[in-house]
Amino acid sequence: MDLDKANAALDSVYSASSPDELAKAYADWAATYDSETASLGYLLPFLITAWVARYVSASEGPLLDAGCGTGLSGPSMKALGYHRLAGLDLSPDMLRIAASRQTYDDLRQGTLGETLPWPDGHFRAFFSTGVFTMGHAPASGLNDLVRITRSGGHAIFTVRDQVFDSGGFAGVIANLEKQGKWRLVEESPWFRCYAVTEPGARVKTFVFEVL
């Protein structure tokens, strides 16, 4: 596997300056995304299932994979007994691959930071990995994700260290707490995103109960 090619693709999505630019970068990467992120040792789509399982019973749903990409989390969730899975992504090319996994019963194109195509309180929980990072979804995207999550449900997501303060995540998280929209139930230490490359690339997982 060509690590240089994989890293170049990663750089192209991190450097995107608009949703359209990001969608094009993922369209160009979609066909080789799974194998190349595997070569980088990308952990997050599989690791997030541990946090979901800690707070959400497999009998509960529906759950939203927000920024699902090619749906790497889907088969892991299904293997753990979760069947009511929806996925959201801005890239039609990535969604087509996610659909081929046959683990999602509701896949929709949409952009985090805009109004999402589900009613208030629709989901038991949402989970999201690798989406709140450089050149990707804005911190404001958390607001509508909370809207479509029911009271007593959970918000489970990772944030990249490089955007936590500069991207306004600390402020949005604190503001949602201040408004009584959610409460923190777990916060991981900072940990590596990739087992093989970029040892300095770190994320933190947050788990909130929606109120």
Pick the CATH number of 42-210 from 3.40.50.720, 3.30.70.80, 3.40.800.20, 3.40.50.150: 3.40.50.150
H or E element at residue 207: strand 202-210
How does pLDDT run across 112-169, given as a tens digit for each residue? Answer: 999 999 999 999 999 999 899 877 789 999 999 999 999 999 999 999 998 999 999 9
Please, what sign has the CA dihedral across residues 29, 163, 64, 16? negative
CA distances from 138 to 80, 108, 181 (A): 30, 19, 18
Q: What angle do CA 14, 16, 22 make, to 5 degrees?
A: 100
Domain segments of the chain: what residues? 42-210
pLDDT tens across 54-73, in order? 999 999 999 999 999 999 99
Rounded to an integer, what distance in angstroms lies between the CA atom of residue 164 and that of residue 201?
A: 13
- Block residue for tokens 């019963």: 105
